[in-house]
C-alpha cells in the first residue's frame, strides 16, 4: 500500500513518546487496538465474530446517502469514502444505478453460506471428497473466519454476475470504477487472470487503507494461531479448508497494493 493511502496517524511521534512517559505504552497499544477493533478482541474482529449493528466503529450506510438493497453496515471510514465515490459517479453519470448488495457479513452468516454451498455440492457430486467440495466452494465463497466481508471494508454492488458488467448500466458502473475507484481508496481484489484464489468478481470492492491493515493483522494471527478462525463447533470441512485459508486471503489483485490516487482530479 502506498503512503498516499495510508491512514493518517492521529498523533505525532513526539506526542506518542510523551504520552508513553505519562501513561505507559501498554495503554497506547490498547488505544491503537481500540481504533482498529473497537471493544472486541482482534481475534473476534478479524474472524467476524461480532454484530456490526451494535459495533461502535460501524455505521448504517443509508445514513451516508449510499443506496442499498436493504440495511447495510460498513466501517465509518469505508462509508465516508464510498459516499465520496458515489457522489462523484453520480456527478459524471446522473442516470446510472448503483447500490450496495452485500456488506459486512459476520462469522455466523458466512458459516450459513458455507454450509449451504457444501450441501448443494455434496448432493450434486455424490462421490466428491472433502477436498473437492472445499475447492469447489472456494471458487467463489469464503470459509468463515477468512472473508474480507468480516472487516467492514468490503462490499458487493448491484448484481453478483460478471456478465452484468459487460453491457448497459453494469458496464457503465464497472468502467467508471476501473478508472476512478483507486482515487477514492477502492480496488477490485478478485480480478480475472490471477494465479490463485477466488474467481473474478466484478461486483466486489475493497477499501484498501483499512483492508490492508486487517489483511496484515489476519496473517499475523493465522501464522501464530491458525485455529483462531474457528469458533464454537467450527464448520463442516474446516480441517481441510483452514490449511489453505491464507492462499484465499492473500490472492488479491496487485493493483490493491498500489493505490496511487493519481486521477481523482481528471
Ligand atoms: Zn463480496
Dist. CA 157–CA 210, nearest whole Å = 19
Tens digit of pLDDT for each residue in 68-91? 999 999 999 999 999 999 999 999
Between 16-20, 82-86, 133-137, 160-164, the lowest mean confidence (pLDDT) is in 16-20
pLDDT at 15 over 50: no
pLDDT at 266 over 90: no
Q: φ, ψ for residue 119 (rounded to 5)?
A: -70, -35
Query: How many A from CA of 33 to the centre of ligand 1?
Result: 25
Contact in structure between 229 and 144 (CB atoms under 8 Å): yes
Query: How many A from CA of 155 to the centre of ligand 1?
Result: 6
pLDDT range class, residue 62, cuts 50, 70, 90: very high
Give the cell for residue 13: 511521534
Query: How many A from CA of 156 to the centre of ligand 1?
Result: 5
Task: Give every CB contact of residue 252 below 8 A, 6+ residues apart in sequence.
Answer: 187, 189, 190, 194, 197, 206
Tens digit of pLDDT for each residue in 246-259? 999 999 999 998 75
Other CB atoms within a 10 A radius of the CB of residue 127 amount to 6
What average pLDDT does range 211-240 have in this prediction?
Answer: 93
Tens digit of pLDDT for each residue in 16-38? 444 434 433 333 344 467 899 99
Q: Which helix (H) or strand (E) holds 186?
A: strand 186-187
Pick one of 1.10.10.10, 3.30.70.380, 3.30.1380.10, 3.40.630.40 as the CATH number of 39-257.
Answer: 3.30.1380.10
- Domain definitions of the chain by residue range: 39-257
Query: How many A from CA of 34 to the centre of ligand 1?
Result: 26
Amino acid at each position: 500500500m502506498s503512503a498516499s493511502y495510508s491512514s493518517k496517524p492521529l498523533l505525532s511521534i513526539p506526542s506518542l513518546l510523551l504520552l508513553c512517559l505519562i501513561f505507559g505504552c501498554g495503554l497506547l497499544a490498547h488505544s491503537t487496538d481500540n481504533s482498529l477493533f473497537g471493544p472486541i478482541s482482534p481475534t473476534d474482529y478479524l474472524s467476524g465474530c461480532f454484530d456490526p449493528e451494535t459495533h461502535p466503529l460501524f455505521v448504517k450506510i443509508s445514513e451516508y446517502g449510499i443506496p442499498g438493497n436493504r440495511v447495510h453496515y460498513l466501517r465509518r471510514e469505508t462509508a465516508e469514502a464510498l459516499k465520496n465515490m458515489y457522489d462523484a459517479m453520480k456527478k459524471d453519470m446522473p442516470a446510472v444505478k448503483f447500490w450496495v448488495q452485500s456488506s459486512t457479513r459476520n462469522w455466523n452468516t458466512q458459516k450459513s453460506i458455507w454450509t449451504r454451498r457444501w450441501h448443494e455440492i455434496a448432493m450434486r457430486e455424490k462421490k466428491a471428497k472433502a477436498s473437492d467440495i472445499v475447492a469447489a466452494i472456494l471458487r467463489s465463497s469464503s470459509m468463515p473466519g477468512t472473508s474480507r466481508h468480516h472487516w467492514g471494508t468490503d462490499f458487493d454492488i448491484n448484481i453478483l454476475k460478471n456478465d452484468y458488467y459487460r453491457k448497459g448500466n453494469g458496464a457503465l458502473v464497472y468502467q467508471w470504477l476501473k478508472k476512478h475507484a483507486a482515487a477514492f481508496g477502492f480496488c477490485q481484489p478478485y480480478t480475472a487472470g490471477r494465479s490463485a484464489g477466488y474467481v473474478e468478481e466484478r461486483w466486489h470492492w475493497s477499501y484498501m487503507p483499512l483492508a490492508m491493515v486487517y489483511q496484515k493483522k489476519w496473517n499475523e494471527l493465522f501464522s501464530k494461531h491458525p485455529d483462531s478462525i474457528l469458533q464454537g463447533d467450527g464448520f463442516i470441512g474446516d480441517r481441510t479448508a483452514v490449511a489453505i485459508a491464507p492462499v484465499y486471503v492473500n490472492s488479491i489483485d496487485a493493483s490493491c497494493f498500489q493505490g496511487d490516487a493519481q486521477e481523482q482530479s481528471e
